Amino acid sequence: MGRSRSRASLVPLLAVSSLLSHFAWGFDCKDIVAQKVQFHFEKLGGPHVVHWQEEDIEHEMLYKYNFTLDICNSLKWQKGGSAATECHQGSRVCAIRENIDLSMDNNSTITPIDIAGTYKTQTGRELEAKFELLRNSKSNSDAGREGLRAEFHGGRSPFDDKKNGIDQRAIIEFVCDKERTGLEGDEKDKGDNEDKPKDGDKDGKKDGDEKKEEKLRRRENEGKGQCEDSDRSLRFCGYQLETADKDKKVKTLRLEWRTQHACEDAPTPDGGSHWGFFGWFFIIFFLAIASYLIFGSWLNYNRYGARGWDLLPHGDTIRDIPYIAKDFARKILGTVQGGGSRGGYAAV
Ligand SMILES: *[C@@H]1O[C@H](CO)[C@@H](O)[C@H](O)[C@H]1NC(C)=O
Ligand SMILES: *[C@@H]1O[C@H](CO)[C@@H](O)[C@H](O)[C@H]1NC(C)=O
Ligand SMILES: *[C@@H]1O[C@H](CO)[C@@H](O)[C@H](O)[C@H]1NC(C)=O
């Protein structure tokens, strides 16, 4: 009857599947390619926090910064967060600044600063991630260093002020250090950190804070381009107004991340992305076959009033598959056994 006259084509479905594989989320931290060298940073994913504070003596203000970044995903709001105290949706790098007014009983306010992210729906601005090998950098200070420099854009503060807002960016240097995973001294978002004194030990905490301030002062004396004196793998190196291309002023957060994942001979984390690709491939492949069968059956039913086996496109072929397989196996067995005894295989 109507069987095999309907040829629902696979071509459009294959086209859809290839579109899916080109779908991109800015960049993939699992597979960053810079000048043909691949880096896998999924182990560094998740929110990580770095602190800094800055005093404005003239205005009697103290600014305490918490910089949070996630190189693999957009940052999520804290529980109970609101637009007044959190960065916008789509942020990858965010600063929460506490403004402490020393002239007014240390009264403080919170200013969130969007440094980098994809804010396409809000402002049309994007992350525009750029990657460069340190050894290919033009800067002399990078000579002999192994690793990757990443530059992220998209932020502005104040966020909605097109005219007076200051563009923001983050420059992160991932420096090869075979001894470090990259998570040493890590402070997860609002999480505990190891060298924090125990609760109730207020004096200890004060001492810690004072030490931290001393360190900051020392660092400032060392001048620009120096990173915080810290044993943590992720370190703060500066947050200043810099002159970028075309004499544009851009407030730039600089971080340094020492990690073995930035070494060019770092082992590839096994599985992961490749299985991901084949996983997608098989899902799409089976969806395609299912759609083909369903659509083909529907066509056969409607056009030709087919029933039973006749419903399936190529129903006769499908019905024959067991026999074809049997035949095939028989042939192979025949070849293997050569022309010898022909007795043993009939019951396949
Ligand atoms: C500081 O804030 C408190 C509560 O918000 C307020 O009562 C106080 O007047 C403020 N102090 C100054 C000096 O503004
Ligand atoms: C305000 O904060 C500064 C620095 O943190 C501290 O030295 C000072 O004692 C504080 N003053 C008051 C009134 O809390
Ligand atoms: C910054 O982080 C510290 C430690 O995690 C936290 O105590 C503080 O409240 C944070 N500040 C802001 C403004 O979120």
3-state SS, one letter per residue, for 300-346: HHHHHCCCHHHHCCCHHHHHHHHHHHHHHHHHHHHHHHCCCCCCCCC
Q: How confident is the model over 289-298, as pLDDT tens digits? A: 888 888 888 8
Sign of CA dihedral 134, 136, 137, 138: positive
How far apart are the C-alpha atoms of 167 and 134, rounded to whole Å? 24
Q: How confident is the model over 265-298, as pLDDT tens digits? A: 877 765 445 556 777 888 888 899 888 888 888 8
Atom of ligand 3 nearest to the CA of 187: 5
**pTM higher than 0.85 for the full model?**
no
Distance (Å) from CA 102 to ligand 2 centroid = 7
Choice among 129-133, 168-172, 257-261, 341-345 with the minimum mean pLDDT: 341-345
Task: Quickly count helices (H) and strands (E) in the chain.
Answer: 5, 12
Q: How confident is the model over 212-233, as pLDDT tens digits? A: 444 444 444 444 458 998 899 9
Distance (Å) from CA 101 to ligand 2 centroid = 9
Terminal-to-terminal C-alpha distance of the chain? 32
Instruction: Give 235's strand partners.
Output: 256
Q: How confident is the model over 146-184, as pLDDT tens digits? A: 999 999 999 998 998 888 899 999 999 999 999 999 999
Nearest CA to ligand 1 atom 11: 104
Nearest CA to ligand 1 atom 13: 104
> What was the pLDDT predicted at 275?
59
CA dihedral of residues 199, 201, 206, 210 (deg, nearest 10): -90
329's CB contacts (< 8 A; 6+ apart) are 348
**Ligand 3 within 6 A of 78 CB?**
no
Distance (Å) from CA 122 to ligand 3 centroid = 27
- Protein residues with CB under 6 Å of any ligand 1 atom: 104-105, 107
Atom of ligand 2 nearest to the CA of 105: 13
Nearest CA to ligand 3 atom 1: 66
The preferred substitution site among 79, 110, 190 for testing ligand 3, maximizing ligand atoms within 8 Å of CB, is: 190
Atom of ligand 3 nearest to the CA of 191: 5
Distance (Å) from CA 108 to ligand 1 centroid = 9
Strand, helix or coil for residue 26: coil
- Protein residues with CB under 6 Å of any ligand 2 atom: 102, 105-106
**pLDDT averaged over the chain?**
79
Q: How confident is the model over 9-53, as pLDDT tens digits? A: 444 444 444 444 333 346 888 889 888 899 999 999 999 999 999
Q: Where are the domains of the chain?
A: 25-262, 278-332
Instruction: Give 125's strand partners.
Output: 119
Q: How confident is the model over 296-328, as pLDDT tens digits? A: 888 888 888 877 777 777 777 777 877 888 888
Nearest CA to ligand 3 atom 11: 66
- Please report which ligand is nearest the Cα atom of 103: 1
